[in-house]
Amino acid sequence: MVQSIHRAFDLLTALAVEPAGLTELARRTDLPKSTAARLLATLQDLDAVERADESGLYRLGAAFNALAGSSSRTDLASLAVPHLHNLTNQTSETSGISIPDGYRVHYLIQVDSDNPIQIRDWSGELIPMHAVPDGQIYMSEWPDERLERYFSLDPVSFTAATITTEHAMRDRMDLFRERGYTWVMEEFVEGLNSVAAPVKNDAGKVIAAIHVYGPAYRFPIDGTQSTIGEQVVKAADRLARSIVRAGVTR
Amino acid sequence: MVQSIHRAFDLLTALAVEPAGLTELARRTDLPKSTAARLLATLQDLDAVERADESGLYRLGAAFNALAGSSSRTDLASLAVPHLHNLTNQTSETSGISIPDGYRVHYLIQVDSDNPIQIRDWSGELIPMHAVPDGQIYMSEWPDERLERYFSLDPVSFTAATITTEHAMRDRMDLFRERGYTWVMEEFVEGLNSVAAPVKNDAGKVIAAIHVYGPAYRFPIDGTQSTIGEQVVKAADRLARSIVRAGVTR
DNA sequence: AAACCTGTTCCACGATGTGGAACAGAACGT
DNA sequence: ACGTTCTGTTCCACATCGTGGAACAGGTTT
């Protein structure tokens, strides 16, 4: 075991209680002041702690928000994988999961189908909300002023079919609220269709969305839009229950 | 600078990209395998990383959620302090801020008034939602089934005035939605009144609440309920704007 | 079956982390 | 104004702790 790392985490844990000066931290962690000073200087270098200018008090730094964010995204992605496999098996198309990130959709992972004609992998990428079904679901929870602000920024018209007006988006959102899922037909990329449904936490808040997409020439097969939509909704609900059981917080 | 701590954080940063095995992590961080193994064992001991049983892959552990949670609570509390001072000056009573935490309200900090007759400090404590105005605000955003579940658990009657039925709480929530703030008169503690207003993020979600409380014999002074309520709403809105400017995420 | 790769463990070694001491400056009490 | 106490910073002699190469077991791939 590496003693220095244990000691560093002792200091971080002490700071989680409340901010403190060097001498107080040394006292809380039973370390000599010079040892604590050196460890804190290193943690400061790593943005794991920061120092308030006037008071000289140490407090936890921004590094953990990034690590915790990544940790919870990884948790969510792990939980989603079996559900996405099931969905891909059912639909024979690529499925994936995303989370909202400001005005964009953050694709976490996707599960490809066996079909030789594949969809490229958008995992890790950030796509504007209006262009994809996940984003349209997230936007449907926004207050009016946020929606207004978004459309005042002239959203990109990716294809001739992209929705770029608030009015048209409200119509789309009404459809979503009616059905519980939303379809996007060649609005982001020519030749690509997709459908998504929301994943909600115990408090009813949309924390993620799962989607299926495929090439427009074969997806969806005529007359199957609502069947596929319902399958995505069911998969999203099952994932939501897994999340509650696993105690993954978002 | 402490080399071991830098190396440990290099490993953590590598894991934030995606989970990996020992050899891959050693490669990503330019460390000998034995060094990486020892550092990872220590991080595992600290719950900073965990090991998937079957695959043997390492991934970030739960420790950061706790540290990030604490870090962001500290950020929020720091931002709130000047607003709470203003509110305490205006009302001559104790003010404070809370966040929701499951079925309870987590009081972060409070700012006392100069009055010698003081309210005890609940900072750090967790109080059931139904008994305090902050909690009643949080509950007003819940889906029906969550509210139903809460009241099926026979909430504690702290005083004769405590609301313990779903029906009565819905009436209270209607009043809240009408006014933008909510009063609680001796429902939690005999002789204690309080008023709260929600703090919302850019997406319109209630992330915290701020409140003022005082002894019932002097607070509120007759005829000042709506004036004080509005003051709390304004302070909450100003805090919300500070939060957006500071980029503090919740 | 052989080659290759991963993860684990050991231990000789010396580099790094340790911690006491000294110091400057601020805060506090008289 | 002065003495005392406390905090934070820095130095450096020292030896403990962290290092990393090597060996090994077991699984995977060819």
B34 touches chain A (CB under 8 A): no
For residues B108 and B38, state if they share a domain: no
With 0-12 CB in 10 A as exposed, 13-18 as middle and 19+ as buried, what is A199? buried
For residues B46 and B153, state if they share a domain: no
CB atoms within 10 A of CB B31: 19
Of A61, A77, A106, the one marking the end of a domain is A61
For residues B212 and B229, state if they share a domain: yes
pLDDT top residue among A1 and B54? A1
- Closest by Cβ to A46, choosing from B6, B18, B68: B6
For residues A57 and A73, state if they share a domain: no
Distance CA A170, CA B45 (A): 51
CATH number at residue B34: 1.10.10.10
Nucleotide nearest to A38 (CA to C1'): C17
Among A1, A35, A49, A60, the strongest candidate for a mutation testing the B interface, having the largest count of B CBs within 10 A, is: A60
For residues B87 and B102, state if they share a domain: yes
pLDDT value at position A48? 93
pLDDT value at position B161? 95
Instruction: Enumerate residues 203 to 242 of chain A having a beta carbon within 8 A of any beta carbon in chain B.
Output: 203-205
- Closest by Cβ to B64, choosing from A4, A46, A68: A68
For residues B74 and B146, state if they share a domain: yes
Q: Is the pLDDT of residue A250 over 60?
A: no
Tens of pLDDT, residues B92-145: 899 999 999 889 999 998 888 877 777 788 888 899 999 999 999 999 988 888
A9 touches chain B (CB under 8 A): yes
For residues B141 and B92, state if they share a domain: yes
For residues A154 and A76, state if they share a domain: yes
For residues A76 and A153, state if they share a domain: yes
**Interface contact B146-A202, CB threshold 8 A:** yes
What residues of chain B lie within 8 A of the CB of A39, using their CB? 2, 5
How far apart, in Å, are the Cα atoms of A52 and each of A19, A60, A66?
A: 9, 11, 20
Domain range holding A81? Answer: 66-246
Structure tokens at B10: 């290099």
**Interface contact A146-B203, CB threshold 8 A:** yes
Tens of pLDDT, residues B168-179: 999 999 999 999
Chain B residue whose CA is closest to A44: B1
Which string of DSSP letters, residue by residue, matches A78-105? HHHHHHHHHHHHHHSSEEEEEEEETTEE
For residues B92 and B163, state if they share a domain: yes
**Number of structural domains in chain A:** 2
CA atoms within 13 A on the CB side of A16: 15
Cis preceding linkage at B100, omega within 30: no
What residues of chain A lie within 8 A of the CB of B69, using their CB? 68
**Is the alpha carbon torsion for B140, B143, B144, B148 positive or negative?**
negative
A68 touches chain B (CB under 8 A): yes
Q: What are phi and psi of A202, to 5 degrees?
A: -60, -25
For residues B153 and B224, state if they share a domain: yes
Distance CA B212, CA B195 (A): 6
Of A40, A61, A82, the one marking the end of a domain is A61
CATH number at residue A154: 3.30.450.40
> Do residues B247 and B80 touch, judged by C-beta distance below 8 A?
no
Tens of pLDDT, residues A151-184: 998 899 999 999 999 999 999 999 999 999 999 9
Residue with the two structure tokens 């997806």: A219
Considering chain A, what is the average pLDDT of its residues? Answer: 90
**Interface contact B74-A60, CB threshold 8 A:** yes
Tens of pLDDT, residues B53-89: 777 899 988 888 888 778 888 888 888 988 998 999 8
For residues B10 and B108, state if they share a domain: no
